[in-house]
Amino acid sequence: MSFVSRDFALFYTVVFILYYGFPSVKVQNLLVVVASYVFYGWWDWRFLPLLVIISVVNYATAIWIGATKRPRRKRFLLIAALSVSLAALAVFKYFDFFSNSFAIALRSLGLPVDLPVLHLILPLGISFMTFQGMAYVIDVWRGHHPAETDLLRFLAFKAFFPQLIAGPIERADHLLVQFGQERSLTPDKVMQALWLLVYGYTLKIVVADGLAPIVDSVFVANQPFGWSVILGTLGFGLQIYADFYGYSLIAKGLALLLGFELIWNFRFPYWATSPSDFWQRWHISLSRWLRDYLYIPLGGNRGGRLKTVRNLYATMLLGGLWHGASWNFVFWGFIHGTALAATRYLPECQFSRVRTAFGWTFTMIVVFSAWFFFRASSYELILGMLSAFRDMEWVPVHTSIAFALCAATGPLFIIEWIQQRSGDFVLLRYPAWVRYPALSCLCFLALVMGREYQASFIYFQF
């Protein structure tokens, strides 16, 4: 059940009516759990037991961790809970990848072997639900958050359908606590949610889905022109941003209509002036997760330059692998790790405008170069497209592609420029004669473009 479907519109309408028909927090939480399981089971009901088992394991072990006083036993319970979550992730997402990679390595050494592969279907959102559960258990173990004893509240937090499939990866001290509070719907919240939903759907339908066929047509192994590769890579970088940012805004708007606040998962990442600045703006919930539960425990920037570089590489390589069981994602992480390590020790320019201009240019080159490897999913495709740089002729099709890129992303850049200057992300500071025409224009664009090519949300595969 995609957010961009009539089935979801009907589903959410029913949930919304029932939700506010029962003012009891406990009944509303029960409705959230039932609705979330229906939403997740709509894709494939066979994976519902996986979601329930991981949730119950996280819930029970966190209570045991909170109840025991012995550090060794706490650590054992933590390892047990993390092992269950990581085992599910390893089997469904990474077993075939490592099995195939190991077999290829052995064959290259002259040892022909056929290792078993499972060919399992990847459960939707398994990386997101796994990381959110792990963060909760670790926070309880660290003493940052008390163990939740209300099973209904915890199940609602773990399966909350607006952010279940593609995040943001929420923390217990932000989202879980909201399931114990009274929820209300105010005119301001309705206006904020309306903007988030309209803008989110516009980004998905107009920008991301408008760019998808262009990108798909360019990313082919027999691509003859280098300029097509460059324009296609720019298109994909804009497509994945509009697609994922659009999803995050829709999720935030849907949650807000039910009385919940989700974190902002994006803060204008393509305005970043350094690789580290980019990662403070892009997929913020994942960036913070990698920082708090991987980079800092590894030692962070403590222990000298070499250890810091090692920790950066380890964090970004695992961050790349989190996105998918493929070496192109690992290389994507390697590029970002290299950029983070390099810029950490570069001397700073004394002229602020020059520093800003150079920093932005360098960051965008790194980011979009990495997007090429993120999108090119096979070794053959990468080599085929890179060979196209032997011909850098500008042909009429490149003018058409460039024009299409500008037309599809125009609304995105105009609105982000306004938001950056005003600091108003939901247009509430603007008068009604500005807000309503803007919303109407975006609605019109989404309705017109909604009849055309539609692609699934990119991050659903992670």
Chain segment 65-104, per-residue pLDDT in tens = 989 888 899 999 999 999 988 888 888 887 777 777 777 7
Whether 283 is a known active-site residue: answer no
Q: Which of 145, 283, 323, 336 is catalytic?
A: 323
pLDDT of residue 118: 67
pLDDT of residue 450: 64
pLDDT of residue 425: 72
Which stretch of 111-125, 303-317, 369-383, 387-401 has the lowest confidence by average pLDDT? Answer: 111-125
Q: Which long-range contacts (CB under 8 A, 24 or more apart) does 414-422 make?
A: 415/199, 416/268, 416/271, 419/268, 420/268, 420/271
Q: What's the mean pLDDT in 296-310?
A: 87
Q: What's the mean pLDDT in 128-139?
A: 93
Q: Cα(96)–Cα(116) distance, rounded to whole angstroms? A: 8
pLDDT of residue 349: 62
Verify cis geometry, omega within 30 degrees of 0, for the bond prior to 168: yes
Q: What's the mean pLDDT in 18-47?
A: 91
Chain segment 397-433, per-residue pLDDT in tens = 888 888 888 888 887 888 888 887 777 676 667 777 6
Chain segment 190-242, per-residue pLDDT in tens = 888 988 998 898 899 888 888 888 899 899 888 888 898 999 999 999 999 99
Task: Please state, for a pLDDT cut of 70, what percent of the chain lies above it.
Answer: 95
140 pLDDT exceeds 70? Answer: yes
Chain segment 145-184, per-residue pLDDT in tens = 899 999 999 999 999 999 998 879 999 999 999 999 988 8
283 pLDDT exceeds 60? Answer: yes
Is the pTM higher than 0.75? Answer: yes
How many angstroms separate the Cα of 160 from the Cα of each of 21, 179, 182, 351? 19, 10, 17, 47
452 pLDDT exceeds 60? Answer: no
pLDDT of residue 105: 72
pLDDT of residue 442: 75
Chain segment 183-192, per-residue pLDDT in tens = 888 888 888 8
Q: Please list, residue by residue across 84-95, b when 16 or more beta carbons sit within 10 angstroms of its beta carbon and e when fewer do.
A: bbeebbeebbeb
Mean pLDDT in the chain? Answer: 87
Which stretch of 49-63, 106-120, 125-139 has the lowest confidence by average pLDDT? Answer: 106-120
pLDDT of residue 293: 94
Which ranges of 303-449 would DSSP assign to H, the alpha helix?
305-323, 327-344, 352-375, 379-386, 396-422, 432-449
Angle between helices 151-159 and 48-67 (to 10 degrees): 130
